[in-house]
Structure 1
Amino acid sequence: MKYLGLRMKDLQDREALNTAREIASQPSSWEKTYKRFLEEKEYILQFLQKVWEHDFPYIILTGAGTSAFIGEALVGSFQKKWNGVCRAIATTDIITHPENYFIKSRPTLLISFARSGDSPESVAAVELAKEHCDCLYELNITCNKDGALAKKIKDTDSYTFLLPEETNDQSLAMTSSFSSMLLTGLLISNILDAEQLRPTIDRVCELGNYVLNDCLPDIQKMAETDFKRMVFMGSGPLFGIAHESHLKVQELSNGKVICKFDSFLGFRHGPKAVVDDTTVVVYLLSNSAGVQPYELDLVRSAKTTAAGERSIAIGNSYDESELKFDLSIRFPGGTEDIQEEFLSVFYILPAQIIGFYKSLSLGLSPDSPSQNGAISRVVQGVKIYHLTENEKC
């Protein structure tokens, strides 16, 4: 048995088996997640109907770290599909300044994403929401049936969707848990059309397998080159993927590769200064005709002022005869048949693979790359402080 082209024995010897298996298993996890969602759809819908009884409910997508970036990728889909105000707010922001984000008189749906559900912020954010909202609904999306979030006392105003067990990644870096919770969020935002999404899910799985199999050698080759910085760019839902991509490579390389992220348009406003001849720039290209001209203008501009950096393009929106990249990941049959937000599910794969192979090339263990224990699978040491009424501002 091999994962990401490496034998199980070699992966075990290098403490890389969990990460490799979790990355490689994602298309299978997406299929199982979709199947479970369809089985629970009517129960989720019954819960959401209570939310929709209110005019223009306020929707908050939350999580910590990688789980927070899920919300960044989903916020546009929820706002478009549900015709309500939706914000992506990390639990790490909610904990310190809940009054900045909750509107007491506004009916609120808090959607929490958590791999383990055991980080102190996960449960505390829900408790703070209860304090600051007169009308609160809780939808918890988690991969761990034994986590604190999954075990919370349930009532008629809360619902927990538990993902398939294999999405509860055992390695430090979240991979299949991220993409599977992201897919779940997309399914929820499209819940009224969930059965009709079968062709989209099949196509997403097909292109995920294409990246994991056909593109693997070229991605590995790029990962093993000598670079010290990576910059990821994405627009709209792919901005959240750029955010997660930067963290994934930085985590798996134990900070040996410093990463940045931005939108295509935002990159011009200062962040471009980080690019030098030790940098790999990754362009996550949209399939939206309205977005592509802005992105390609930035690519052309970057290439005319290149300082020796290397580049990766993910997507089909450019003319190969005009623009050349050190690594091009183009998808067979194109992606025009896929809603833009669903690109995010498989666009995360290249960064995960690059992070994995960069970790190995640096002599690290991908399952636990943090040599000094500075980061851990479940964040530890966060103390939650409860203010008295007199202390509150």
Structure 2
Amino acid sequence: MPISNHASTELDRVIQTLYTFQEIMQQPDLWLNTVERVRAAVEQLNLTTRLANVRVLLTGAGTSAYAAASIAAAWPRAVAVPTTDLLVDAERYLADMDVVISLARSGNSPESAAVVKRVRAVRPEILQLAITCNEESTLSQSGLDGLIVLDPKTNDRSLVMTSSFSNLVLAGLALARSDEIASTVGAVSKRVAELLPSINISCERISADVRDRVVILASSPFRGWTCEAGLKLLEMTAGHFSVVTESFLGLRHGPMSFVKPQTLVLCLLSNDPVRRMYEVDLIRELRAKKIGRLVGITQATEENAAEAGDLFDNVLPAVAPHLPDDLRTSFEIVTPQLLGYHLSLSIGLNPDNPSPDGIINRVVQGVRIYPVTSDRG
């Protein structure tokens, strides 16, 4: 049977996508390596002692900032501040801090090295570490006290960050909650590898019906996941789809006005019973108002299959439903990554370079670093 022109065009687009799909699908193969690299660095740098009972500030820009937020949610006494804020307001954010940990894929964004220098100028006694996917970077050579370098395969070649995000988050979690991560990463990696092919097919089907807007919902431990999921859809579709990210409870306070009958509403459900009750209430409200095409990321079992079918138009499997919510982000992010990938293809873009006009770039450009004056108020 001859291939139609439409099918041939679609095939050409997929073939031209050299990196993104591979970088999404490779993630389970990299997670064990990331945990092992962190373990080795902890021993080499004596971090078990140096990070005990300290105030930690995690920082990064864009996707790396969302990685920082995801780690901070699981790390007692830690906070996340984007480099884009820390650079211009270092004095405010560094008060009472003992450690700053920078996160970066390339480590070549202008803010990355500038923040290290700024922290050193304001609080020279602060311990400065970095987790990066690129050993040969400006950040790596900026005078840090310690560096954790991830497998070079995590240094995504695509414009968008996928495996770099999940591995940066996992590395930070391995610092914060080492025993829990070490005891679970093997089983979760195996489960994700088994589920990815079917999740990929489901995301392709769901993407075909997305019209013009998307809402992404999750509860507070997933705030970094929610922001990153929204960013993946925006980046890979060059802003073609309007995206709102919110908490389930927060949606009622105004953003629900964004939800129309055909709006895709992607819901990541908590495994905490109290959070989940609030989440289900909101989903039932959307059902009653007949707004939103509801897609749930949840663990569908024989016991709750009827409820899942009642709540959602489509159900995607949660890949780490048995972990505490604050340890799930690095694994559950694979689903919105694949959804963004298929949305990109559906509108004729190449996910490797969805901004061919250079509106955004793999490494941020155009940032001028200014000296800080001594009379600053």
Equivalent residue number for residue 273 of structure 2: 289
Equivalent residue number for residue 321 of structure 1: 306
Query: Relative to structure 2, which stretch is displaced further, 12-21 or 262-271?
Result: 12-21
Letter aligned with residue 335 of structure 1: P
Within 5 A, what are the aligned runs for 1:136-285?
Answer: 136-154=126-144, 158-191=145-178, 193=179, 197-285=181-269
Equivalent residue number for residue 326 of structure 2: 341
Rounded Cα–Cα distance in structure 2 between residues aligned with 1:89 and 1:14: 39
CA RMSD of aligned residues (A): 2.2
1:109 aligns with 2:99: yes
Query: SS in structure 2 opposite 1:329?
Result: strand
How far is 1:36 from its partner? 2.2
Equivalent residue number for residue 49 of structure 1: 49
Rounded Cα–Cα distance in structure 2 between residues aligned with 1:68 and 1:197: 21
Rounded Cα–Cα distance in structure 2 between residues aligned with 1:184 and 1:361: 33
Query: SS in structure 2 opposite 1:321?
Result: helix
Rounded Cα–Cα distance in structure 2 between residues aligned with 1:237 and 1:386: 36
Query: SS in structure 2 opposite 1:261?
Result: strand
Rounded Cα–Cα distance in structure 1 between residues aligned with 2:256 and 2:193: 33
How far is 1:121 from its partner? 0.8
- Would the aligned equivalents of 1:15 and 1:366 in 2 still touch at CA under 8 Å? no
Rounded Cα–Cα distance in structure 2 between residues aligned with 1:120 and 1:42: 30
Rounded Cα–Cα distance in structure 2 between residues aligned with 1:331 and 1:379: 33
- Would the aligned equivalents of 2:199 and 2:317 in 1 still touch at CA under 8 Å? no
| TM-aligned CA distance change 1:13 to 1:298, over 3 Å | closer
Query: SS in structure 2 opposite 1:214?
Result: helix
Which among 59, 72, 83 is matched to residue 62 of structure 1?
59
How far is 1:190 from its partner? 1.4
| TM-aligned CA distance change 1:198 to 1:133, over 3 Å | closer
How far is 1:349 from its partner? 1.0
Letter aligned with residue 341 of structure 2: F
Rounded Cα–Cα distance in structure 2 between residues aligned with 1:296 and 1:218: 22
Rounded Cα–Cα distance in structure 2 between residues aligned with 1:127 and 1:134: 9
1:28 aligns with 2:29: yes
Query: SS in structure 2 opposite 1:346?
Result: helix
1:3-52, Cα deviation, whole Å (9 max, x unpaired)? xxxxxx957875311101101101001122123223333124x1352343
Equivalent residue number for residue 363 of structure 2: 378
How far is 1:170 from its partner? 0.5
- Would the aligned equivalents of 1:207 and 1:346 in 2 still touch at CA under 8 Å? no
Aligned length: 365
Query: Relative to structure 2, which stretch is displaced further, 162-171 or 259-268?
Result: 259-268
Query: So what's the TM-score if we normalise by structure 2?
Result: 0.91
Equivalent residue number for residue 132 of structure 1: 122
Query: SS in structure 2 opposite 1:146?
Result: coil
Equivalent residue number for residue 5 of structure 1: none
How far is 1:258 from its partner? 1.3
Rounded Cα–Cα distance in structure 2 between residues aligned with 1:74 and 1:231: 23
| TM-aligned CA distance change 1:254 to 1:211, over 3 Å | farther
Structure 2 unaligned spans of 5+: 1-9
- Percent of pairs with identical residues: 33
How far is 1:111 from its partner? 1.0
- Would the aligned equivalents of 1:107 and 1:134 in 2 still touch at CA under 8 Å? no
Equivalent residue number for residue 388 of structure 1: 373
Query: SS in structure 2 opposite 1:290?
Result: helix
1:123-156, Cα deviation, whole Å (9 max, x unpaired)? 11122212222520111000011111112234xx
Equivalent residue number for residue 351 of structure 1: 336
Rounded Cα–Cα distance in structure 2 between residues aligned with 1:374 and 1:27: 31
1:93 aligns with 2:76: no
Equivalent residue number for residue 82 of structure 1: none
Letter aligned with residue 133 of structure 2: C
Rounded Cα–Cα distance in structure 2 between residues aligned with 1:59 and 1:141: 14
